Amino acid sequence: MNASTDNTNGIVWWPADLDAAQSEAASTGKLILVDFFSPT
């Protein structure tokens, strides 16, 4: 799975795959930030 980094704040954005995000969080000890958005 490919992640992208927002250069303005260093947040690493993942595709909308909660299982992958939880696996990453479990292995790194990081929190998960979920951004629900509607395209404008």
Q: Which residues bind another protein (CB under 8 A)?
A: 9, 13-18, 21-22, 25-26, 29, 31-39
Task: Select 7 or 29, whichever has its Cβ closest to another protein.
Answer: 29
* Cβ-based nearer residue to another protein, 7 or 31: 31
Shortest Å distance, C-beta 38 to another protein = 5
Q: How far is the CB of 39 from another protein (least distance, A)?
A: 6
Q: Which residue has the tokens 């490919």?
A: 2
User: Is the dihedral angle over the CA atoms 9, 14, 18, 22 positive or is it negative?
Assistant: negative
Phi, psi of 6 (to 5 degrees): -80, 115
